Structure 1
Amino acid sequence: MTDLPARVHGHCDPRFEAVRTAFEANFRERGELGAAVAVTVGGETVVDLWGGWADGARSRPWERDTLVNVWSTTKGPTALCAHILADRGLLDLDAPVAAYWPEFAAAGKEEVLVRHLLAHRAGLSGLREPHTLQELYYWELTTRRLAATEPWWAPGTRSGYHALTYGFLVGEVVRRVSGLRPAAFLEREVTGPLGVDFTIGLPEKESGRVAELVQPPAGPAGEGAAAPAALPPLALAALANPPIGADQANTPGWRAAEIPAANGHGTARAVADLYGIFAGAGSYGGRRILSPGAAERVREGQGRCLDLVLGAGLGHETEIGLGLWLSGPNGSYGPNPRAFGHDGFGGSCGLADPEAGVSLGYVMNRMGPHIADDPRKTALVDAVYASL
């Protein structure tokens, strides 16, 4: 069975046949195991493909409704929660975090702004004290430790990827303002009304359709991965406190927890739908989720720099908006420098390009070793733009 070529299923508009070709090539040439890709243009789904296997043993075919952990691609929907509150006048992105979360003012963080959390500029990429995986599952403990900790650098001056802490920081502000953590807020305000098959954390009732993640080969450290001891303390704190990989993410404990930076579960269609809200100037599926101005603000660049956590691994400067990464001159999300999106550990991706009206969702279970811009994702993005 393992020698059989992967079968690709689904729909692909003839204009986007290049995307199907690239998707099939990912299985033949780039080691794909199981995956799905979806593309929307102007809110219309033009690509909805899936194929391969939902487990490492290749005993379960990837189905149309197979769910998978998308790691940091989750950060886009989490940021969306904060932007909805800001759009309603309930959250000021230029206010100190402590205005909503008073305990956060400890250890010199009185002037950290909400926008600093969204842009990975709060100086809290990781906790200074050891934090176990079981402790990460405990929301109150994790947020309490973050509120008490000292920043690693002067907040607001540089970006440093908040791999796991991002979701707790932004999420606690969402909770303080709305009374709901991001998982419940997203369901109430977005995924429920739109019928989007995406959750932060995985409800036990959905466990039968989730794909098994397969550990990446040895290579550069990604978010949550066990980083080499040679990394500086800041990077170790951000990427390996606690260390997390496929083995941990396949457990019931990880799936049941709420980790809004890293344990969103969904289909490629769901990712394309959620990022389609940004691509559609705040509207999707006939519903307005954000005002056009609020949707535009998501990609407001906060300053280009060599990221303090990921810079050495990426090898070039990057710029983060208010929750998502800008394509910029690196072209991470296509040739439009103002397109934006987010990659997930191992390869997944959500992309939004308002100028082209395009959104893309790519999900997979055989994790790659790349920090960002996995070759499988890049091939699909290139094929989308070649088809426009």
Structure 2
Amino acid sequence: MVSLVHGHADPAFRSVREIFEASFADGQNLGAGVAVFVDGRAVVDLWGGIANAKTGRAWERDTLCVSFSSTKAVTATAALRVATDHGISVEKPVADWWPEYARADKDSTTLADFLTHSAGLPVLDRPVSAAEAAEPGLVAGLLAAQSPLWEPGTRHGYHALTYGWLLGEFIGRHTDSTVGDYVRRELGPDLHIDVPAELLERVARLTFPAPGEREWTGDPDPISPESVRRMARAFRDPESLILRSTANPRAAYNDPEVLTGGWPATGLVTTARALAAHYRDLLAGDLLPRPVLTDAIRERVRGTDEVLGSTSAYGLGYALPSENMLVPAVARRTAFGHPGAGGSIGLADPHHRVAFAFIPNLRRDWLAGDRRAYRLLEAVYAAL
């Protein structure tokens, strides 16, 4: 039988390839890529399956795919780099550089509040179209005029989409660049937060499992049963913060208008190789000074997330292992990164010198028992 998987894996990481191959054979994956660096060396670079179920197009080495909220860590790196270059403390009020933001009891909000999902602006007060979302400054202007849902800095709740436009305003005001242009120029040419039109044909088409596979089932460990129940209830309640925060602007991520629109919280379209290389470069000190990264991955908030209902934890923009970022036990004290909807994840572990990324186009969810990235990570750590 011809293998659906291509690329290379160091012999010591053979089990990673075996698990990846098995995920196509048992239908867990349609198309996907996985990449691993250890001590800066590429030990796994695999891809395979189908990029477009409608046409049968194969997943190639250069196939791009939406990584959803894995984007947030890349946008965080960009914001921290800009802050470092301009000598701006993340603890200073946002109003120092964004005077229009000092309205509606938000004058004390800091850049750190943006990065830790503590700004109290997880939802937009009015509907926003995909076309409006692509208009520079429009969403940020709406957020500047809103009142927060809680006192900034006192609680944290996942800013699923607004996170990107808040940080994007900081990046734009200090670089005269969109987040997409800045990221490609400063962080990596294959990290596309706004896909150039000429690359759209390389983007994998997203799809969903059969309806019977989307039920709230599966082994939740290490997630508490109560967190699973809270999240399940929230996803069934149209007025819940999680649905209000993820459904406005309403997006179809196969839509070219969204892919090219530059959504800096969820719009990163890339390869697993490029996303893992981002974390490799972070660990090497090539993107941020080492003391800046050390401070950025220090835990700033942890606890029940006001939006998600599960436990989440953050440094400055980087998610830390929690119920919202599942990693094997060996990595829970030292890894940082960010997961994305449907199963993607990028992370680094400075203690174990690992950089990892997994990006699929079949959108599963951990509430339905998705453990694709988790199993690959287990194999990576077992091979070290």
- Listed as ranges, the matches of 1:100-179 within 5 Å are 100-179=97-176
Equivalent position of 2:199 in the other structure: 206
- 1:71, 1:345 within 8 Å by CA — same for their partners in 2? yes
Question: Are residue 307 (structure 1) and residue 305 (structure 2) matched?
Answer: yes
Local SS of the residue matching 1:46: strand
Local SS of the residue matching 1:11: strand
Local SS of the residue matching 1:177: helix
Local SS of the residue matching 1:38: strand
Equivalent position of 1:294 in the other structure: 292
State the Cα distance separating 1:351 from its structure 2 match: 0.9
Task: Write the letter of the residue equivalent to 2:308.
Answer: L
Could you tell me the percent identity over the aligned residues? Answer: 40
- Listed as ranges, the matches of 1:260-275 within 5 Å are 260-275=264-279
Local SS of the residue matching 1:242: coil
If the length of structure 2 is used for normalisation, what is the TM-score? 0.89
Provide the C-alpha distance between the structure 2 equivalents of 1:28 and 1:106, rounded to a whole number of angstroms: 55
State the Cα distance separating 1:330 from its structure 2 match: 8.3
In terms of mean alpha carbon deviation, does 118-127 or 319-328 score higher?
319-328
- 1:343, 1:373 within 8 Å by CA — same for their partners in 2? no
Equivalent position of 2:76 in the other structure: 79
Local SS of the residue matching 1:77: helix
State the Cα distance separating 1:89 from its structure 2 match: 4.0
Equivalent position of 1:224 in the other structure: none
Q: 1:180 to 1:330 in 2, by over 3 A?
A: closer
Provide the C-alpha distance between the structure 2 equivalents of 1:348 and 1:276, rounded to a whole number of angstroms: 17
Q: What residue ranges of structure 1 are gaps of 5+ in the alignment? A: 222-226, 283-287
Question: Are residue 332 (structure 1) and residue 326 (structure 2) matched?
Answer: yes
State the Cα distance separating 1:290 from its structure 2 match: 1.3
Provide the C-alpha distance between the structure 1 equivalents of 2:215 and 2:150, rounded to a whole number of angstroms: 27
Question: Are residue 255 (structure 1) and residue 259 (structure 2) matched?
Answer: yes
Offset from partner CA, 1:79-123 (integer Å, 9 cap, x none):
011111222243220111111111111111100110010111111
Equivalent position of 1:346 in the other structure: 342
Aligned residues: 363
If the length of structure 1 is used for normalisation, what is the TM-score? 0.88
Task: Write the letter of the residue equivalent to 1:361.
Answer: A
Local SS of the residue matching 1:360: strand
Q: 1:249 to 1:304 in 2, by over 3 A?
A: same
Local SS of the residue matching 1:120: coil
Q: What residue ranges of structure 2 are gaps of 5+ in the alignment? A: 217-227, 229-233
Provide the C-alpha distance between the structure 2 equivalents of 1:148 and 1:69, rounded to a whole number of angstroms: 30
Provide the C-alpha distance between the structure 1 equivalents of 2:44 and 2:198, rounded to a whole number of angstroms: 28
Equivalent position of 2:90 in the other structure: 93
Provide the C-alpha distance between the structure 2 equivalents of 1:17 and 1:81, rounded to a whole number of angstroms: 34
Q: 1:59 to 1:21 in 2, by over 3 A?
A: same
Q: 1:66 is matched with which residue: 63, 66, 70?
A: 63
Q: 1:328 to 1:70 in 2, by over 3 A?
A: closer
Equivalent position of 1:235 in the other structure: 242
Q: Which runs of 4+ in 1 moved over 6 A?
A: none
Task: Write the letter of the residue equivalent to 2:326.
Answer: S
Task: Write the letter of the residue equivalent to 1:230.
Answer: D
Offset from partner CA, 1:174-212 (integer Å, 9 cap, x none):
1112222211111221214xxxx2211110111221111
Task: Write the letter of the residue equivalent to 1:97.
Answer: V
Q: 1:306 to 1:25 in 2, by over 3 A?
A: same
Q: 2:358 is matched with which residue: 340, 356, 362?
A: 362
Equivalent position of 2:376 in the other structure: 380
State the Cα distance separating 1:278 from its structure 2 match: 2.9
State the Cα distance separating 1:6 from its structure 2 match: 5.8
State the Cα distance separating 1:7 from its structure 2 match: 1.0
State the Cα distance separating 1:373 from its structure 2 match: 8.6
Q: CA RMSD in A?
A: 2.2
Local SS of the residue matching 2:188: helix
State the Cα distance separating 1:272 from its structure 2 match: 0.3
Q: 1:260 to 1:373 in 2, by over 3 A?
A: farther
- Listed as ranges, the matches of 1:313-324 within 5 Å are 314=310, 317-324=311-318
Equivalent position of 1:285 in the other structure: none
Provide the C-alpha distance between the structure 2 equivalents of 1:90 and 1:98, rounded to a whole number of angstroms: 16
